[in-house]
Structure 1
Amino acid sequence: MPRAWSRRSVLVALGVASATALTGCGVRLEDHPGSLPFAPERKPAPDERTLLAALADTRSLEQAAAAAGAAAGPWPARLAPAHHQQAAVLEQVLRQAGVPVPAAAPTTGGPSGTGSPTTSTTAAGQARAGLAAQELVAVQTPALITLAGVGAEHVALLAALAAHHGAAATLLGGSAQWPEPSAPTGSPAARLLAATRSAAYGFEVAQAQGDHATAALAAVTLARLRHRETELVTLAGDAATPPALGYQLPFPVTTPTSARRLARGLVAGLLSAKAAELRGAAGNEQALTGLVRWLAETAVLGTRWGSPLPAFPGLSAP
């Protein structure tokens, strides 16, 4: 009498037969699909590794900022949404390049707020200092060397991102150790010199038309711009041109309100002028370092005038 096959026996037999057939064809089941001759490997996209590292860092900063809590001051709460926006932009850039985007880690909750006031204050200070230290990594020498290896297609995006992190660190109480600017030089420095002189004229008007607080802040801003002008004259060299005989304001400035509005617009213009030089500085570590520094410092200046810290200073909808 023929042997009766159970359903389980049939499935086992089919599995063994399939494995035998595949082995006979020279294909091993335990082989990784990427090693199969008919599964071509994906070619890495330009700057893929650096973009993925920037995404991981930005996600980590978002979590750290969100976890710092209100006791750490106002800036962590402002930085968390900016880091979220940065991560979204980086994800979009990677996807457009055909790069698989790793999933973000689950968001951790913020501080519970329990414990004594002294403990909570200490923890908040430590969280703020820790976040500042994380932000500073983007403008330290190893990161700036990596930035100099980024191609022209992505250098403006990643340099503006680094400038944001440097500005954020300053606003959190950190301090970046910048080298003395030695670049950009020549025509790029001359263009920045012209933009700086134009902004300085505008701040002179803001100082004259503003109230006491506005005039005081304009005076501080002017001192910084005059110092920057001196630096740029040296860096521009023979490409430097004499100051213009006059500059046109974008609108009449006759009140303290219009003076502050002008000041915010002038800072935005300076950010755009600096960011416009980033692509041409690709591959030049000294020039990129100088531009990232000036972008970061100008972005901090903008917050003093009431502007938000841009996620990508100087860039519009990257």
Structure 2
Amino acid sequence: MREVTPSVASPSRRLVTAGALGAVVVALSGCGIRLEDDAPRVPLVPTREPIDAEDALVRLLEAVQAAATAPLLTTDPLAPLLPPLHARQATVLHDALRQRGVPEDDLSTASASPTPTSTTPSPSASGTASPSASASGSTAVPPVVRTVAEVESAILAAGAGLAGAEAELRPTLVAVMGQADAAVQLAAPSPTATAPPTQATPTASPTASTSASPDEPPAWSTPSALVPLITATRRATFLLEVAAARSPKGVRAAWLRDITELQALTADLVDAAGEVAPPPDLGQTLPSPVTTPAQVLTLATEALSTLLATTGANLRPLTDADPGAAFASVPGWLGTVAAVAHRHGIRLTPFPGLA
């Protein structure tokens, strides 16, 4: 008598199809593939999640792109220096966002010139108004020429919300804001003073950061992160004081302005650090003899180069320790250092303090 073996039920077509889709989803997830925001909705396949602070990052990119092409007053000494810096910033920010999955369509490129706000026709060579007509017969409006302060202030205004960006991006973002802050300071009217004999453009900056909010900045949750900056700023101030004391009277007047700014910066840092702020070092010495005018200039330049590099090296620790407080204060501090350094022959860079 033949035994009857129970038959094994074969999987249904629906079950096989579901299993295949599940395998595809797992494979796509394992490979890190993410769909663009506007991609068709595919069942069981996840859509792209925005990256941290994506809206703020895109706004900053658009402001930097606009600054790279904005027509500036040619009488401003900074006008030829800034567009290449902003072009480099735009490239770095754009590539960073694309690498993180932000769609290209969301990274709009600014137009070649800002939207005109004036329709005043430009004068012709004879001195009479002669608006140029386009092929369609309408009057062409010339682009609005803007000041450096206006363009750089627009970048600072676009920085709201950047504290929420991922940790790896924060130092770069603070450096971009610091460069804009330095440009605003350097574009301020110059006081009556004899400029130091360096290659720097003789411009001035206010004693307080122009990017500072009228509201009190947030308290630091980890104020010990400010100690390296306090020490470095005090050291640079001391060396600049020595250089000023051993310089001609006219040069000394201009350098005292920079010393005052560094002293104000030190006071801000000490206030923010509170009880953890270290006491001043009263036993500082010179790194080398300073007896000639050339040695004086070298001392000042090296002091400010070191301070700028130290500030840049601490951007990551500062933004890691307290992103909110860092984005509220550090761009202004970095801007002050970069502006003072520029007046002593150290060129502006797209990301001051960063290699």
Partner residue in 1 for 2:146: 128
Question: Structure 1 residues 153, 193: closer, same or farther in 2, change over 3 A?
Answer: same
Partner residue in 2 for 1:301: 340
CA RMSD of aligned residues (A): 3.6
Could you tell me how far apart the structure 1 residues matched to 2:170 and 2:48 are?
23
Candidates 61, 69, 72, aligned match of 1:68: 72
Partner residue in 1 for 2:239: 202
Candidates 183, 197, 215, aligned match of 1:168: 183
Q: Can you list the C-alpha shifts for 1:64-122, whole angstroms capped at 9, x where unaligned?
A: 0xx2253x42212211111111112112322433444447456469xxx9647899xxx
Could you tell me how far apart the structure 2 residues matched to 1:88 and 1:50 are?
17
Contact 1:207 1:219 in 2 (8 A): yes
Contact 2:219 2:325 in 1 (8 A): yes
Could you tell me how far apart the structure 2 residues matched to 1:173 and 1:225 are?
17
Question: Structure 1 residues 310, 300: closer, same or farther in 2, change over 3 A?
Answer: same
Offset of 1:157 from its aligned partner? 0.9
Give secondary structure in 1 for the equivalent of 2:291.
coil
Could you tell me how far apart the structure 1 residues matched to 2:47 and 2:146 are?
43
Partner residue in 2 for 1:260: 297
Candidates 146, 151, 155, aligned match of 2:170: 155
Offset of 1:169 from its aligned partner? 2.5
Could you tell me how far apart the structure 1 residues matched to 2:268 and 2:187 are?
27
Contact 1:182 1:235 in 2 (8 A): no
Segments of structure 2 that go 5 or more residues without pairing to the other structure are 1-37, 115-121, 130-141, 190-205
Offset of 1:37 from its aligned partner? 4.5
Could you tell me how far apart the structure 2 residues matched to 1:106 and 1:137 are?
15
Contact 2:57 2:162 in 1 (8 A): no
Contact 2:62 2:110 in 1 (8 A): no
Could you tell me how far apart the structure 1 residues matched to 2:298 and 2:146 are?
31
Contact 1:264 1:305 in 2 (8 A): yes
Segments of structure 1 that go 5 or more residues without pairing to the other structure are 1-31
Give secondary structure in 1 for the equivalent of 2:80.
helix
Offset of 1:288 from its aligned partner? 2.4
TM-score, length basis structure 2: 0.64
Question: Structure 1 residues 209, 161: closer, same or farther in 2, change over 3 A?
Answer: same
Offset of 1:203 from its aligned partner? 0.8
Give the share of equivalent positions with the same residue, in percent: 33
Candidates 229, 243, 258, aligned match of 2:266: 229
Partner residue in 1 for 2:327: 288
Contact 1:145 1:285 in 2 (8 A): no
Could you tell me how far apart the structure 2 residues matched to 1:96 and 1:177 are?
30
* Higher helix residue share: 1
Contact 2:65 2:87 in 1 (8 A): yes
- The residue identity in structure 1 corresponding to 2:235 is S
- The residue identity in structure 2 corresponding to 1:274 is T
TM-score, length basis structure 1: 0.71
Partner residue in 2 for 1:138: 155
Q: Can you list the C-alpha shifts for 1:256-311, whole angstroms capped at 9, x where unaligned?
A: 23322332332233233333443333554334222111111222212221222221
Could you tell me how far apart the structure 2 residues matched to 1:145 and 1:107 are?
24
